[in-house]
């Protein structure tokens, strides 16, 4: 029997490695938990993208569960995720606020007209000051914030329908239940 | 419209690959000549369409067609043309296309150079190549289409990663991939042999040159990557044990073992099931390397943007390719006949030792590379395995390899007299020992044992091979005899000598630079002079300097020794316009015995800069060594034996094939 078993050893070794690789797919080695999770959204006071004369502050957003999505027209991945956000917006399950990051106002407005506007409102962060406070290191990034203004979840990179269905919406439902 | 042609060509290539994977293989079982004969035209068709695809993508870069997402992400109007071309393989989608293209090119090479092989073998080998091709083309089309469009069209592209904008790195991936993909040939030959149940000396002889060519590409490709990291990253190191570097080193180590094991199988018919296993592993590790870079399972400075969907696809592909081939192995290998017997002291034994050491090294690297993943998966916490661990393992094992090289290459097949070995090698041994001890003297190393060991081993490799050559030429009339030998059947022998000299040079380079390298991090003002290893580095200041798609701060250094100026170094720190990260371009004065290396750090205000100054003795030897190894491999495959043997192969498949070569050549090649 050892004569046959011997030749199964390579296959067995590979099976072990493959198991780890499959497990590895669900893990994210880059996932450095954001230090902001469990903390308040940093204070800001910035103009709206749509109305340059109107200021919006972090206090205006208190009282509801919302997503804060960092985006820009120069960001190719943002274009890739935009359709997903538009669909999420149509579901009316959670408000999405945009943080338009280091962008041109005209270009951003054209983008929303052409591709659809899923946002309840857009915060126009021309200088990128608030993005720094949020610890943004690349667009797009999405934060989930509760009614008290506390950040519960952060996703770096484009969101996809699976992530929204399996992770974001269940968290939203739970946060809304808590009030 | 043009990018769609590229996309369409990919689909056509996939269709051909599917036919190629099925029909010729079926033909080899039903003995249908026309089905088997179909394999060659199918391969040519695939090559045609993949060439078209690649040209279309290159053209999209040259024409700044930013409606293609891939071009918008990695191209730019200001990018120099050379880098527009190299941008084709500068990121995930395009590099996969290059993979698929090279696979087709290797397949076509088999189709071209297999006129003397039995048709069923050709049909099976090309069918296996077709199966691999299906995997890669499906991956491209389903998850990573380089021809996807975007609308509205961006005005400007986001440009190639500035790190990749370098002539060395423009050709590094194609060379590396030629190596990776090249191992698919040995893999395909092995699968075909397992399927056909005929593993014999002629199988080994057919596989050998292909394996050697792939190995040469991989060797030079890895060395080029190491050289690039040295001058571009500004850290002065030549190897970082980064997961992606490890991913290329593992197939190299196993491929090296495979080359040596194939020699035993060809000459002596021994190690057959082991050789097959190495062939399967060499290619499996190449695939694994591709997986590790792209799946996002491991982090690395090289990682392409990762995406779980792609990860799942690659893993399933790996499971089918590697798992399937190992299953076939487990099923068929028990029926492989044993080879010729050999005594304890024989060339077979020493080559087995070489094989085991190389495989253990590859296994250790695999373990070290996957350790963070294993820890994370077992919830033991997060760890990273770095430099010290890998270095320790290598320093522990490689000296034995160096010892074996000298003994193995001079001993005879089947049986060697211990007395003969002692007689041949005693002078070499004494000289090497003396040389090693000499380097321990205060004048050289002050008793640094690592230096003594390294230099002694390098000397051992050189002297034992000198004895070897002398022994061979004893029966051949002097220098003319040597020339005749070189033009005749001796090339694989001299190729081996050349490659092993490369090993000696490599040992010298690594030993010297690890033990005598000097590094200084200092702050300098214009006019300051720093002294390292007897060289004066005079800093004359930094000025701005515009490049085609970047702005550079260029430092100016006058290097002098004993008051005599020997070089001017101009290290740069570049800021690229589009991707605004800073890049360093080291200033290097290179020499055979030492490199002087300056890399700009940060501006500290008032004209002051932080600097890194290095003195790197013998570092060039590391890369020159790889050139020697590569040349050795090339010389070996031009051996007449392969050309004449190929003719003979179709008529005979006995284990003694090759016995018509002169006895001396037999015992050495």
Residue B643: pLDDT band (50, 70, 90) is low
Per-residue pLDDT tens digits for B13-64: 999 999 999 999 999 999 999 999 999 999 999 999 999 999 999 999 999 9
The kind and range of the H/E element at A99 are: strand A95-101
Rounded to a whole number of angstroms, the distance from the CA of A91 to the nearest CA of chain B is: 25
The answer to whether A24 contacts B312, with C-beta atoms less than 8 Å apart, is no
User: What domains can be seen in chain A, in order of their start residue?
Assistant: 34-178 (3.40.30.10)
Task: Average the pLDDT over B121-126 and give the result.
Answer: 95
More confident residue, B359 or A73: B359
Nearest Cα residue in chain A from B297:
A24
Do B612 and B598 meet the contact criterion of CB atoms below 8 Å apart? Answer: yes
| Residue matched to tokens 């949020």 | A134
Nearest Cα residue in chain B from A74:
B154
Q: Write out chain B residues lying below 8 Å of A7, CB-based.
A: 273, 329-330, 333-334
Q: How far apart are CA A122 and CA A138, in angstroms?
A: 18
Helix (H, G, I), strand (E, B) or coil at B556: strand
Per-residue pLDDT tens digits for B575-612: 888 777 778 888 999 999 999 999 988 888 888 888 88
Per-residue pLDDT tens digits for A113-162: 888 899 989 999 888 888 888 877 677 889 999 988 889 888 877 888 88
pLDDT(A33) > 70: no
CB atoms within 10 A of CB B575: 15
Q: How far apart are CA B14 and CA A149, in angstroms?
A: 52
Mutate to test the interface with A, among B326, B363, B370 (most CBs of A within 10 A): B326
3-state helix, strand, coil in chain A (%, to 5): 45, 20, 35
Radius of gyration of chain A (CA): 21
Of A3, A8, A23, Cβ closest to residue B377: A23
ipTM over 0.90: no
Nearest Cα residue in chain A from B323:
A11
Rounded to a whole number of angstroms, the distance from the CA of A46 to the nearest CA of chain B is: 26
B409: Cβ contacts below 8 Å, ≥ 6 apart:
B464, B465, B468, B496, B500, B668
Q: Write out chain B residues lying below 8 Å of A29, CB-based.
A: 296-299, 372-373, 376
Q: Write out chain B residues lying below 8 Å of A23, CB-based.
A: 373, 377
The answer to whether A11 contacts B329, with C-beta atoms less than 8 Å apart, is yes
pLDDT(B302) > 50: no
Q: How far apart are CA A112 and CA B548, in angstroms?
A: 34
Q: How far apart are CA B99 and CA B47, in angstroms?
A: 12
What is the model's pLDDT at position B648?
A: 47
Mutate to test the interface with B, among A11, A18, A140 (most CBs of B within 10 A): A11
Interface list for chain B against chain A, based on CB atoms closer than 8 Å: 69, 72-73, 150, 152, 154, 158, 273, 277, 280-281, 284, 291, 295-299, 308, 311-312, 315, 318-319, 322-323, 326-327, 329-330, 333-334, 366, 370, 372-374, 376-377
Rounded to a whole number of angstroms, the distance from the CA of B462 to the nearest CA of chain A is: 36
The answer to whether A7 contacts B295, with C-beta atoms less than 8 Å apart, is no
Q: How far apart are CA A9 and CA B582, in angstroms?
A: 49
| Residue matched to tokens 């000549």 | B33
More confident residue, B305 or B278: B278
The answer to whether B370 contacts A20, with C-beta atoms less than 8 Å apart, is yes
- Residue B426, Cβ density class (10 Å: 0-12 exposed, 13-18 middle, ≥19 buried): exposed
SS3 of A32-98: the string is CCCCCCCCECCCCEEEECCCCCCEEEHHHHCCCCEEEEEECCCCHHHHHHHHHHHHHHHHCCCEEEE
Per-residue pLDDT tens digits for B353-365: 999 999 999 999 9
Q: How far apart are CA B645 and CA B206, in angstroms?
A: 9
Lowest-confidence region among A161-170, B6-15, B150-159, B208-217: B150-159
Rounded to a whole number of angstroms, the distance from the CA of A124 to the nearest CA of chain B is: 22
Q: Which of B318, B211, B346, B196 is nearest to B275 (CA)?
A: B211
Of B72, B150, B312, Cβ closest to residue A25: B312
Do B186 and B279 meet the contact criterion of CB atoms below 8 Å apart? Answer: yes
The answer to whether B297 contacts A21, with C-beta atoms less than 8 Å apart, is yes
Q: Write out chain B residues lying below 8 Å of A76, CB-based.
A: 69, 72-73, 150, 154, 158
Chain A to chain B Cβ contacts (< 8 Å):
81
Of B280, B315, B330, Cβ closest to residue A21: B315
Mutate to test the interface with A, among B92, B299, B334, B336 (most CBs of A within 10 A): B334
The answer to whether A11 contacts B158, with C-beta atoms less than 8 Å apart, is no
Count Cβ neighbours within 10 Å for each residue of B385-411 and write b for 16 or more, e otherwise: beeeebeebbeeebbebbbbbbbbbbb
B73: Cβ contacts below 8 Å, ≥ 6 apart:
A76, B91, B157, B158
More confident residue, B375 or B566: B566
Q: Write out chain B residues lying below 8 Å of A27, CB-based.
A: 297, 373, 376-377
Q: Write out chain B residues lying below 8 Å of A21, CB-based.
A: 291, 295, 297, 315, 318, 373
Mutate to test the interface with B, among A10, A82, A115 (most CBs of B within 10 A): A10
What is the model's pLDDT at position B477?
A: 67
Percent of chain B topping pLDDT 90: 50
Helix (H, G, I), strand (E, B) or coil at A128: coil
The answer to whether B333 contacts A7, with C-beta atoms less than 8 Å apart, is yes
Q: How far apart are CA B214 and CA B275, in angstroms?
A: 16
Helix (H, G, I), strand (E, B) or coil at B639: coil
Rounded to a whole number of angstroms, the distance from the CA of A21 to the nearest CA of chain B is: 7
What is the model's pLDDT at position B294?
A: 65
Rounded to a whole number of angstroms, the distance from the CA of B153 to the nearest CA of chain A is: 11
Mutate to test the interface with A, among B70, B243, B330 (most CBs of A within 10 A): B330
Q: Write out chain B residues lying below 8 Å of A28, CB-based.
A: 296
Rounded to a whole number of angstroms, the distance from the CA of A6 to the nearest CA of chain B is: 8
Nearest Cα residue in chain A from B69:
A76
Of B69, B311, B366, Cβ closest to residue A25: B311
DSSP tag of B43: H
Average pLDDT for chain B: 86
The answer to whether A14 contacts B284, with C-beta atoms less than 8 Å apart, is yes
pLDDT(B383) > 80: no
What is the model's pLDDT at position A98?
A: 93
B260: Cβ contacts below 8 Å, ≥ 6 apart:
B351, B354, B355
Q: Write out chain A residues lying below 8 Å of B372, CB-based.
A: 29
pLDDT(B568) > 60: yes
The answer to whether B323 contacts A18, with C-beta atoms less than 8 Å apart, is yes
């Amino acid at each position: 029997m050892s004569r046959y078993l011997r030749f199964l050893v390579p296959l067995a070794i590979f099976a072990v490695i493959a198991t780890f690789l499959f497990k590895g797919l669900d893990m994210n080695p880059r996932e450095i938990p954001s230090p902001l999770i469990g903390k308040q959204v940093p204070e800001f006071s910035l103009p709206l993208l749509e109305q340059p004369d109107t200021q919006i502050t972090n206090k205006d957003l208190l009282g509801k569960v919302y997503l804060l999505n960092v985006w820009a027209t120069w960001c190719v991945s943002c274009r890739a995720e935009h359709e997903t956000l538009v669909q999420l917006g149509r579901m009316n399950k959670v408000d999405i606020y945009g943080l338009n990051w280091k962008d041109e106002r005209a270009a951003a407005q054209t983008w929303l007209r052409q591709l659809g506007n899923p946002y309840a409102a857009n915060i126009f962060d021309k200088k990128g000051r608030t993005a720094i406070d949020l610890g943004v290191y690349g667009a797009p990034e999405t934060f989930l914030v509760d009614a008290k203004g506390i950040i519960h979840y952060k996703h770096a990179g484009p969101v996809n329908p699976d992530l929204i269905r399996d992770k974001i919406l269940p968290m939203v439902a739970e946060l809304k239940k808590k009030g | 419209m043009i990018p769609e042609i590229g996309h369409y060509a990919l689909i056509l290539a996939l269709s051909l690959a599917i036919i190629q994977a099925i029909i010729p293989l079926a033909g080899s079982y039903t003995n249908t000549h026309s089905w088997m004969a179909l394999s060659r035209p199918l391969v040519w068709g695939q090559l045609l369409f993949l060439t078209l695809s690649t040209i279309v993508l290159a053209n999209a870069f040259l024409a700044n067609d930013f409606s293609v997402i891939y071009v918008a992400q990695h191209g730019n109007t200001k990018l120099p043309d050379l880098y527009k071309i190299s941008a084709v393989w500068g990121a995930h989608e395009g590099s996969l296309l290059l993979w698929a293209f090279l696979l087709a090119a290797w397949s076509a090479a088999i189709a071209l150079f297999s006129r003397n092989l039995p048709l069923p073998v050709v049909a099976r080998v090309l069918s296996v190549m077709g199966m691999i091709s299906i995997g890669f083309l499906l991956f491209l089309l389903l998850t990573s289409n380089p021809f996807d469009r975007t609308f509205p069209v961006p005005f400007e592209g986001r440009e190639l990663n500035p790190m990749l904008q370098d002539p060395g790195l423009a050709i590094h991936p194609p060379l590396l991939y030629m190596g990776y993909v090249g191992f698919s040939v040995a893999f395909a030959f092995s699968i075909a042999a397992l399927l056909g149940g005929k593993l014999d000396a002629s199988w080994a002889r057919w596989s050998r040159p292909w394996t050697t060519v792939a190995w040469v590409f991989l060797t030079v490709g890895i060395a080029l990557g190491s050289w690039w990291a040295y001058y571009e990253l500004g850290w002065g190191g030549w190897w970082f044990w980064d997961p992606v570097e490890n991913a290329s080193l593992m197939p190299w180590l196993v491929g090296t073992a495979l080359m040596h094991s194939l020699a035993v199988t060809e000459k002596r018919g021994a190690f057959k099931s082991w050789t097959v296993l190495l062939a399967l592993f060499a290619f499996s590790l190449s695939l694994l390397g591709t997986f590790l870079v792209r799946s996002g399972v491991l982090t690395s400075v090289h990682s392409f943007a990762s995406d779980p969907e792609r990860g799942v696809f690659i893993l399933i592909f790996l499971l089918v390719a590697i798992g399937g081939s190992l299953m076939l192995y487990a099923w068929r290998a028990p029926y492989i006949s044993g080879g010729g017997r050999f005594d304890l002291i024989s060339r077979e034994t020493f080559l087995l030792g070489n094989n085991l050491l190389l495989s253990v090294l590859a296994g250790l690297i695999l373990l070290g590379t996957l350790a963070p993943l294993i820890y994370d998966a077992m919830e033991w916490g997060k760890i990273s395995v770095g430099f010290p661990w890998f270095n320790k393992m290598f320093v522990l094992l490689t000296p034995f390899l160096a010892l074996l090289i000298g003994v193995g290459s001079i001993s005879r097949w089947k049986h060697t007299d211990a007395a003969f070995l002692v007689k041949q090698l005693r002078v070499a041994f004494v000289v090497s020992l003396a040389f090693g001890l000499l380097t321990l003297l205060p004048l050289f190393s002050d008793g640094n044992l690592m230096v003594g060991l390294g230099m002694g081993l390098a000397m051992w490799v050189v002297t034992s091979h000198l004895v070897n050559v002398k022994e061979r030429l004893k029966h051949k009339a002097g220098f003319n005899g040597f020339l005749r030998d070189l033009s005749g059947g001796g090339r694989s022998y001299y190729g081996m000598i050349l490659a092993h000299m490369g090993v000696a040079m490599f040992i010298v380079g690594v030993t010297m630079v690890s033990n005598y390298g000097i590094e200084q991090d200092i702050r300098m003002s214009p006019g300051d002079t720093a002294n390292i290893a007897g060289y004066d580095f005079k800093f004359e200041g930094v000025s701005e300097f515009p490049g085609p798609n970047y702005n550079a701060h260029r430092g100016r250094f006058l290097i002098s020794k004993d008051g005599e100026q020997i070089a001017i170094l101009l290290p740069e720190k570049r800021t690229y316009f589009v991707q605004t990260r800073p890049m360093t371009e080291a200033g290097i004065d290179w020499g055979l015995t030492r490199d002087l290396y300056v890399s700009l750090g940060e501006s500290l205000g008032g004209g002051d800069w932080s600097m890194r100054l290095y003195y790197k003795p013998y570092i060039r030897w590391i890369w020159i060594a790889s050139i020697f190894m590569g040349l050795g491999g090339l010389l070996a495959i031009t051996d007449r034996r392969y050309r004449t043997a190929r003719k003979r192969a179709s008529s005979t498949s006995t284990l003694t094939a090759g016995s018509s070569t002169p006895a001396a050549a037999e015992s050495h090649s």
